[in-house]
Amino acid sequence: MTSSVVGCRIAVAVCGGIAAYKVASLVSQLVRLDAQVDVLMTEEAKRFVSALTFGALTHRAVHEDPWQLDNQGEIAHIALARSIDLLVVAPATAHTLARLAHGLADDVVTLIALATPAPVLLAPAMDAGMYGHPAVTENVTTLQQRGYHVVGPRSGRLASGLTGLGRLAEPDEIVAAVEALLHWRRDLAGVRIAVTAGGTQEPIDPVRFIGNRSSGKMGYAIAQAAVERGANVTLVSAPTSLPAPPRVTQVAIQTALELREALHGLLDQVDVIIQAAAVADYRVADPETTKIKRSGEALVLELVENPDIIAGIGALPQHPLLVGFAAETGAHLDEARAKLRRKGLDLIVFNDVSKQGSGFGSDMNEVTLVPARGEPEVLPLLPKLDVAHRLLDRVRDMLQASARSVL
């Protein structure tokens, strides 16, 4: 089977660590797979491996100078950032991870990482104890939340003679991660997807609301994954602390009724709706227009039921492909199946949010994909971006198989 790397333009950013010598093998493998490889090097990287080595392997000029112009007079790293399919940072040192996490741009590696809309794969490597340091852990988590992908590091004997977590993933493993990312390259090109995210907020008065614990991370991960695969994405988001993924159209909403209005306005503009938002089942009948003051007595709120937004769309004679979520606490899979049928969905994502390390607020999720036709797919505990890609694999297959196919 032909590798997904064939014909792709891949930038490999080499940073200053002893593992830089292994990157020569990585670059060689990518070139042998018929990728067009551009190498970028920090000044520190050149202490370990020369630019001549990578120039000889790629038969291309190595990017070292952030002020370098290309043949058309453009700043070289900006032109490169716009044209690549993937950026690999290897070895991603603790120093580089920190600069990326804080948005610093003082060399060709950080400049291209900030400028490119392409996926970024980090391959960390550092000496024992460093990768587990809270500062490094926090930086890696921050980058993953922003959509960066990570492969490794691995445990083993390090250059210092110590043994621990910090070895660069082997070139074969990094190539496999590259192939997995590029496998999804533009397989959803032209597909119009609306993703809802976050927890709706139903006002009690101007300063208080009824809400839920949704962080929005799952919906934002789906939006980012869809963009990476070439889809045109509209993200309908309740309030969150998350930055919008690049290249999405964002629609801000607060309440369930606003969410319904936004989705109905998109019905004839999208091919798929993925309802990942946690929608309040009830709202206050008559929110106060001024702040409710403490009175020393019990406060009684009259709640009325919100409309079931996705079920309403599913009942229409014609509608986009519909994906819903069933975030339950200890519920059985049969309940998700019943919800799928009741709401007229094509696929439902079932997860038990009471499980440790999964669900609300976590960067990980453990879900089961339950289609209207076919067998459920049980996924292990995975980063939410990986869950998003596995979900989109199902969406792609259903679009290809349906009369609504746009692929």
Residue 4 located in a structural domain: no
The total number of structural domains in the chain stands at 2
Same domain, 178 and 227: no
Same domain, 209 and 122: no
In this prediction, residue 185 has a pLDDT band, given cuts at 50, 70 and 90, of low
| Model pLDDT, residue 386 | 84
* Last residue of one domain, picked from the residues 130, 149, 183: 183
For residue 332, pLDDT over 80 is answered with no
Same domain, 134 and 247: no
Same domain, 43 and 172: yes
More confident residue, 31 or 75: 31
Same domain, 144 and 210: no
Report the SS3 class of residue 289.
coil
Residue 367 located in a structural domain: yes
Same domain, 260 and 353: yes
Torsion on CA atoms 273, 274, 277, 282, rounded to nearest 10:
60
* 64-123 pLDDT, tens digit each: 877 765 656 566 667 888 888 899 999 999 999 999 999 998 888 999 998 888 889 999
For residue 270, pLDDT over 80 is answered with yes
- φ/ψ of residue 91, rounded to 5: -75, 140
- CATH number of the domain residue 103 falls in: 3.40.50.1950
Same domain, 204 and 126: no
Residue 2 located in a structural domain: no
Q: What is the C-alpha to C-alpha distance for residues 165 and 153, in angstroms, rounded to an integer?
A: 6
Q: Which domain range does residue 347 map to?
A: 192-401
212 is catalytic: yes
Residue 3 located in a structural domain: no
Q: Among 209, 208, 187, which Cα is nearest to 200's?
A: 209
Same domain, 177 and 208: no
| Model pLDDT, residue 403 | 60
Same domain, 256 and 167: no
| Model pLDDT, residue 73 | 57
For residue 355, pLDDT over 70 is answered with no
Same domain, 179 and 207: no
Same domain, 45 and 171: yes
Q: Among 401, 403, 391, 405, which Cα is nearest to 184's?
A: 391
Active-site pick, 212, 306, 351, 365: 212
* Last residue of one domain, picked from the residues 183, 202, 218: 183
| Model pLDDT, residue 80 | 85
| Model pLDDT, residue 405 | 57
| Model pLDDT, residue 361 | 65
Report the SS3 class of residue 27.
helix
Residue 1 located in a structural domain: no
| Model pLDDT, residue 358 | 59
* 124-176 pLDDT, tens digit each: 999 878 888 999 999 998 888 787 889 988 888 877 777 778 889 999 999 98
In whole numbers, what is the pLDDT of the chain averaged over residues?
A: 89
Q: What is the C-alpha to C-alpha distance for residues 300 and 67, in angstroms, rounded to an integer?
A: 65
Residue 338 located in a structural domain: yes
| Model pLDDT, residue 372 | 92
| Model pLDDT, residue 154 | 85
More confident residue, 64 or 21: 21
Same domain, 152 and 273: no
Residue 35 located in a structural domain: yes
* Last residue of one domain, picked from the residues 140, 155, 183: 183
* Contact (Cβ atoms closer than 8 angstroms) between residue 42 and residue 16: yes
C-alpha distances in Å from residue 330, one per residue of 217, 336, 353, 375, 380: 21, 12, 8, 21, 17
- φ/ψ of residue 72, rounded to 5: -95, 5
- CATH number of the domain residue 255 falls in: 3.40.50.10300
Residue 376 located in a structural domain: yes
| Model pLDDT, residue 406 | 61
The pLDDT of 250-273, averaged and rounded, is: 97
